[in-house]
Amino acid sequence: MKAFRGKSRKTADAPAAIGQRIEVELQRHSHDGRGIGRWQGRTVFVDGGLAGEQVTARVLKARSKLIETRVDKVLQASDERVQPACRHAALCGGCSLQHMPHAMQLQVKQQALAQQLEHFAGIEPGQWMPPLLGPAYAYRQRTRLAVRWDRKHARLEVGYRERFSSDLVEVTQCPILVPELEALVQALGPVLGELDGRAGLGHVELIAAQMPVMLVRHMQPLSSADLESLRALAQQHGAECWLQPGDVDTLHCISGIGTVPAYTLADQALQLEFAPGDFIQVNASVNQQMINQALQWLAPQPGERILDLFCGVGNFSLPLARAGALVTGIEGDGEMVARARRNAENNNLHSPHFLQADLSNHLDGHWLADGCDAALLDPPRDGAELLVHKLAQLRVSRILYVSCNPATLARDAGILAAQGYRLEKVGVMDMFAQTAHVEAMALFVRGTSAGSARKAQ
C-alpha cells in the first residue's frame, strides 16, 4: 500500500507551529498580566491580551499542553483596554502592561502575590494592606540603554531589548522615565552615532539625582572630539557625564565639577550619596512611602537593636537610626558599605554601624552572635533562604521583608511560618508601574497566637 503523502490532519496532541496565528478567547489573567485562553485543548498565554477579549495571536513557544503567544490582532477588545502612552510599547521589553488600566495592574499584582503565598507556603496574611501607589508614568529615575554597532549597515543602534528577542528597539521616547531622563533619551542616539569611538560603546546608564547623570560604558578609548561631544550633550541637559572604560574602579567624571550623585528622603530630612554604579530604588515617590511604611510597621523604639540586611547605601538604615534605633547595616559590596558609613556621618548619625558580609552564603559573622530585636531585609530576586533560617534560629521577634520576587518571598515565608512566625501583614508596592514586576513588603512576628500563619492542611 502506498504511503499517504498528503497534508496530515492536526491531532489533539500536535503542538502549534512557531509563528502560526491562532484565534483565542481570553478568560483571565496570568500572574504576569498575560491573557489566558484555550485553543484545541491547550492553555494559551497571550502577551498583550486582556480577559474578555477575542484575539488572533502569534505563537512564540509551543509545548504539548501550553502555548505562549503575543497579540497579533484584537478582534473584540475589552472595554478596559487603554491606548499605551508609548509608541514603542508593542515591541519594547521594558513595559508589558501599558494596554491595561493602572488599577487592573495593581489587582493582577496583588493576586499574583496571594497565589504565590498560597502555592509555595500555604499561608494567608493576618491583614492585606493597601498598595503603595506612585505615578503611572514619569516615575523612573534610572535606566540602562543598550548600544550596539550594526556592522552590516554601519550604524549605531541605541535602545531597549525587544520583547522575546535579542534585537534592539531604537527608542525616541520613554514616558515612564522622569522628564529630564526622557529628554536625554531623545537626544542620546544622534550624538552617540557620530562619535569616532561609536563601534566600541557598551551601554549607557541615565540616573536622575540632584543633577542628572549620564554614564557611558566604552571598551576602547574615546577621542578628544568624542569627549567634547559628550560634555556638550551633558551641559545641554544640565547633567554630568561619567565614563567607565573598564572595571568599576575606572569610573570617572569628565564634565561639571564631579558632584557625587545624591537623593533626598525629605520625610526624614536625609540626603544619601551614591556612585553611578550603586543600586538605588528607581521610583523616588514609592521609595519614600516604602521607608515610611517600614518605620510604621516595625515601630522601632529608642535603643532597639535592628539589623538592616542588604543595606546598600543606607536607604533604610539611616531612617531607622533617625527614629532612635541602634542599627547594624550589612552589605556585600565593600564600596557601598563605605558610602553608607559616609552617609551616616554626613547626616550627623553616629549610632549606625556598617559591615561587609556575603549574606547569600555561609553566615558566621559576629554581628549574628550579638543578637537583635528586629531585622529588616531587602534581598535580591533569589531571596534569602539561608538568612531567614538563621534569623528564625536567633528568635528575632520581628522581621520586615522587602521583596522584589513574590515566589522567593513565598518560599521564605513558608520557612518562617514553619519556625513559629506569623505573617502579620503584607502589601504590594507599585514600584514599577506599567510592568509585571511585583514589589511587596511583609511583616513576620514570632508566635502564632494572632492571625493565620498557615492554612489548615
Query: Given pLDDT bands bounded at 50, 70 and 90, which one contains residue 361?
Result: confident
**CA-closest candidate to residue 311, choices 428, 400, 430, 419:** 400
Mean pLDDT in residue range 31-42 = 94
Domain co-membership, 148 together with 129: no
Q: Is residue 195 part of a domain?
A: yes
Domain co-membership, 224 together with 360: no
Q: Is residue 453 part of a domain?
A: no
Q: How much of the chain is in helix, strand and coil states, percent to nearest 5? A: 25, 30, 45
Angstrom distance (rounded) from CA 95 to CA 185: 16
Domain co-membership, 320 together with 427: yes
Q: Is residue 128 part of a domain?
A: yes
Domain co-membership, 419 together with 323: yes
Domain harbouring 222, CATH code = 2.40.50.1070
CB–CB of 309/377 below 8 Å? yes
Domain co-membership, 301 together with 385: yes
Domain co-membership, 168 together with 238: yes
| Whether the predicted pLDDT of 445 surpasses 70 | yes
pLDDT tens sequence across 410-440: 999 999 999 999 999 999 999 999 999 999 9
Domain harbouring 419, CATH code = 3.40.50.150
Coil vs helix vs strand at 331: strand
Domain co-membership, 130 together with 153: no
pLDDT of residue 370: 73
pLDDT of residue 1: 40
Q: Is residue 262 part of a domain?
A: no
pLDDT of residue 363: 74
Helices 102-116 and 406-418: crossing angle in degrees, nearest 10, is 40
pLDDT tens sequence across 121-168: 899 999 999 999 999 999 999 999 999 999 888 999 999 999 888 899
CB–CB of 264/343 below 8 Å? no
- Beta pairing class for 201-207 and 142-150: antiparallel
pLDDT tens sequence across 185-209: 999 999 999 999 999 999 999 999 8
Side-chain-side CA neighbours of residue 167 (13 Å): 9
Domain that holds residue 426: 106-135+283-446
pLDDT of residue 7: 40
Q: Is residue 86 part of a domain?
A: no
Mean pLDDT in residue range 15-24 = 90
E strands of 194-338, at which residues? 201-207, 213-218, 240-244, 252-253, 262-265, 270-273, 305-309, 326-331
Q: Does the CA dihedral 109-110-113-118 come out positive or negative?
A: negative
Taking the model in full, what pTM does it have? 0.91
Q: How many other C-beta atoms are found inside a 10 Å radius of the C-beta of residue 251?
A: 16
DSSP state of 87: T
pLDDT of residue 367: 72
Q: Which residues of 218-248 are buried (b: 16+ CB within 10 A; e: fewer)?
A: beeebeeebbebbeebbeebebbbbbbbeee
Coil vs helix vs strand at 266: helix
More confident residue, 255 or 454: 255
- Averaged pLDDT of the chain: 91
Q: Is residue 399 part of a domain?
A: yes
| Whether the predicted pLDDT of 279 surpasses 80 | yes
- Beta pairing class for 421-429 and 240-244: unpaired
Q: Quickly list DSSP for 117-184.
A: IIIII----SEEPPPB---SSS-B-EEEEEEEEETTTTEEEEEEEBTTSSSEEE-S--TTB-HHHHHH
Domain co-membership, 308 together with 418: yes
Distances 185 to 90, 146, 267, 306 between C-alpha atoms, Å: 19, 12, 31, 41
Q: Quickly list DSSP for 279-300.
A: ---SBHHHHHHHHHHHHHHH-P
| Whether the predicted pLDDT of 449 surpasses 60 | no
Domain co-membership, 218 together with 317: no
Domain co-membership, 169 together with 296: no
pLDDT of residue 450: 40
Query: Given pLDDT bands bounded at 50, 70 and 90, which one contains residue 337?
Result: very high
- Beta pairing class for 54-62 and 262-265: unpaired
Angstrom distance (rounded) from CA 92 to CA 56: 20
Domain co-membership, 124 together with 244: no
**CA-closest candidate to residue 295, choices 373, 397, 379, 400:** 400
Query: With 0-12 CB in 10 A as exposed, 13-18 as middle and 19+ as buried, what is 269?
Result: exposed
Q: Is residue 89 part of a domain?
A: no
Query: Of the ranges 7-11, 88-92, 114-118, 325-329, which one carries the lowest mean pLDDT score?
Result: 7-11
Q: Identify the domain boundary among 253, 272, 296.
A: 253
Cell 493576586 sits at which residue? 111
Is 86 an annotated catalytic residue?
no
Q: Is residue 455 part of a domain?
A: no
Q: Identify the domain boundary among 66, 81, 96.
A: 81
Which H or E run contains 389?
helix 385-393
Q: Please count the structural domains in the chain.
A: 3
Domain co-membership, 307 together with 401: yes
pLDDT tens sequence across 257-275: 767 899 999 999 999 999 9
Coil vs helix vs strand at 106: helix
